[in-house]
Structure 1
Amino acid sequence: MTPPYSGHRNRMAVLTLAILLLAPSVLGHVAVWHKGMYCLNGTIPGVDDPDNNAPVSPLFNLSREDWWMHHVNKCDEFPPDDGDFLELPAGGSFVTELAVNRAFTSLSYNGTRTGTFIDGQEHLGLGETDEGKSAEGCITEMNIHTMNESMAAGTAFAISYNSDIKEVTPENLVVFTVLYHTPWHRVAEYKVPDLPECPSGGCHCAWGWVANGCGMPNMYMQPLRCKVVGQTGSKEVAPGKPPVWCEDDPSRCVSGPKQMVFWHQLEGNNVDVSGFDLSGRARSPAYNNKMGFSEGAQTDIFLDNDSATPTFITPGPSSTPPGFSEPAFTSGPGSNGSEPTFTSGPGANGVRDISGFLSLVTTVVSCATLQLSCIYLYLI
């Protein structure tokens, strides 16, 4: 009897299947990557997936329970390892990576598959040429919902002074930093205001962005465990208010602390926009001045002086030096930082049995034509 995958044709079929499985990961959407994130290893218990793309699935037309903290695929049920935090240097900056898949970050394959852009590639002239663009001029090769870097909607981090993720609410999750014209490059540096000390168990943060046209009006929300380090501030963060569209009337902009943008869901939305922006395109709320967000550290989010006690928190091993232009590479999931290997199966010729691997694969597919947020396809 011919063993599975022993013939040339069968090996080619396996290779083709592998390529098809990887395609959604390469062409998918974007997440922020750091040791302090939830579901870094994926959403299958006991599996450390170097090609994880679970956090990148967009959120659209979902119930409050499902979109909040990316619960739709249980990402919020896979916290980071003990001691791993996104460290926020008060008054400084921190570096993260934006990518369509963990494989294209320094947190996988020993950083050997990283590139300038979020898909591990270089893309010379991206946004200035027709490379990777649709007939309408939208960049579709990476699904970043923009025509060029200047039109990239902007991304943001928010913080909640709660160690228990279940205690985080829209009101106590306040945007503290915004980076205009992202997502674009893989390496992204965010500035931090003089945040006060977190509780002993740390804080919770969330990263988000909203698609700027060029496809479905998705939003993204991703949880991380975080803590403030360095010389902490003397003012507590005040509760946030929903942001308001104010591009055409700056007097309408919400001053002070603001919530994240929650939009185009079945329930729990805090933003409602309609009509066209000043460029003539359909309005899309974003982390930029159209919604009253300034770039960089949000310095207007605090209560009065002396509402918090300043102290000094020594940065830990997961800290990124302020102003560091490139994250230090960390070992990948294989032994000694090498790529993971699959053990040989019972087939002849030492052919590796990948059936166990395939049974654990979860592929997230964005279905723009079906107007669905995502479909989870389990290959068993």
Structure 2
Amino acid sequence: MIKVTALLALAAAAQAHTVAWTKGMYCFGGPDLSTDNANTNTAVAPLYNLAREDWWFQHDRGCDAAPPADGDILELPAGGKFTVELAHNRAQTSLSYDGKYSSAWPDGKDHPEDWAGPGNPPECIQDDGAMHTNNQSTAAGTAFAISYQSDLSKVTMENLAVFTVLEHTPWKREATYEVPRRSPSLPRGWLHLRVALGSEWMWTAEYVAPAQIAKYCDDDITKCVKGAKQMIAFNQQTGNNVQVPDGKTPMYNKAWGWESAFFYLEGAQNDIFA
């Protein structure tokens, strides 16, 4: 059995005040292990203009030293799906106060299904300053990445490969991701969120290939990087890994080459295995 580490990455994470909440994540109750803070948003604070050693696994706020409680896991069924809660604060999820302050949306409030910013074309949504999007179609996408290293100090961008993406997120509170069909079942694990979510699972068979850097390829499909790819690191002092054309924003979508093994499709990245 090989232990692995997993991480959830938010595209343009420097501006996304949202994180995926689930049992098994680092910083679930905040960075202070002596207190379980049901109203914490420590893991949500933007990672922006930081040195690589500070944004990596959210070291700047102590989340890398706040592992999940024993027994807290997130199950990932091979070829199946798993659901997490995207919210600005743990209090706005079903994981605090029995869901009293949660709604269908990340901010715990009610909004129309076609929620959008003012104007035509719409400007940035004003009712929720943490979403940083004009409407659902412009949300940059989120992704989970996986490594075969259970020791966080041994996890690198090269051995941490994105295994599933979900375009047009964050949007609703509940978000469901697809697990690659070729991967063995991941029956148990712990999860840490955003640019620092560590997770430990039991893995049995195929190995993930070394992760490459994603490239913008909307203007030329031949530029798209095939196979395992790294999560996006952007807008930091050091550690950035993508070349971004003028006027573009890195996203977890088709324009940046996120595809299945056979055709462009959001969801499980079935071509990540060596």
Q: Given the two structures, how large is their TM-score scaled by the length of structure 2?
A: 0.84
Answering whether residue 26 of structure 2 is matched by residue 38 of structure 1, we say: yes
**What is the one-letter code of the residue matched to 1:37?**
M
CA distance in 2, matches of 1:87, 1:167: 23
CA distance in 1, matches of 2:167, 2:131: 14
Matching residue of 1:189: 176
Instruction: Tell me which of 127, 135, 139 is aligned to 2:125.
Output: 139
Within 5 Å, which residues of 2 pair with 1:165-314?
165-193=152-180, 194-196=182-184, 208=194, 221-227=195-201, 234-275=205-246, 282-294=247-259, 295-303=266-274
Which of the pair has more CA radius of gyration?
Answer: 1
**What is the one-letter code of the residue matched to 1:174?**
A
Shift of the 204–68 alpha-carbon distance from structure 1 to 2, 3 Å rule, reads farther
**What is the one-letter code of the residue matched to 1:111?**
G
Within 5 Å, which residues of 2 pair with 1:1-380?
29-128=17-116, 130=118, 137-142=123-128, 143-193=130-180, 194-196=182-184, 208=194, 221-227=195-201, 234-275=205-246, 282-294=247-259, 295-303=266-274
Q: Per-residue CA shift, 1:156-177, capped at 9, x if unaligned?
A: 0001111211111111110000
Task: Please state whether the residue corresponding to 2:53 is helix, strand or coil.
Answer: helix
Task: Please state whether the residue corresponding to 1:47 is helix, strand or coil.
Answer: coil
Q: CA deviation at 1:136?
A: 6.8
- Corresponding residue pairs, total: 251
Q: Structure 1 runs of 4+ off > 4 angstroms? A: 202-208
CA distance in 2, matches of 1:96, 1:109: 17
Identical positions, percent: 48
Task: Give the unaligned 5+ runs of structure 2.
Answer: 1-15, 260-265
Q: CA deviation at 1:33?
A: 0.2
**What is the one-letter code of the residue matched to 2:199?**
R
CA distance in 2, matches of 1:167, 1:97: 28
CA distance in 1, matches of 2:109, 2:89: 12
Task: Give the unaligned 5+ runs of structure 1.
Answer: 1-27, 209-220, 276-281, 304-380
CA distance in 1, matches of 2:229, 2:190: 16
Shift of the 296–228 alpha-carbon distance from structure 1 to 2, 3 Å rule, reads farther
Task: Please state whether the residue corresponding to 2:57 is helix, strand or coil.
Answer: helix
Matching residue of 2:12: none
Q: CA deviation at 1:226?
A: 3.9
Shift of the 165–129 alpha-carbon distance from structure 1 to 2, 3 Å rule, reads closer
Q: CA deviation at 1:110?
A: 1.0
Q: Per-residue CA shift, 1:333-360, capped at 9, x if unaligned?
A: xxxxxxxxxxxxxxxxxxxxxxxxxxxx
Is the Cα–Cα contact under 8 Å of residues 196 and 228 in structure 1 kept in the other structure? no
Shift of the 88–38 alpha-carbon distance from structure 1 to 2, 3 Å rule, reads same
Q: CA deviation at 1:228?
A: 5.6
**What is the one-letter code of the residue matched to 2:160?**
L
CA distance in 2, matches of 1:120, 1:64: 32
Q: CA deviation at 1:207?
A: 5.1
Matching residue of 2:263: none
**What is the one-letter code of the residue matched to 1:296?**
G
Matching residue of 1:334: none
Task: Please state whether the residue corresponding to 1:88 is helix, strand or coil.
Answer: coil
Matching residue of 2:10: none
Q: CA deviation at 1:62?
A: 0.5
CA distance in 2, matches of 1:38, 1:257: 25
CA distance in 2, matches of 1:100, 1:38: 16
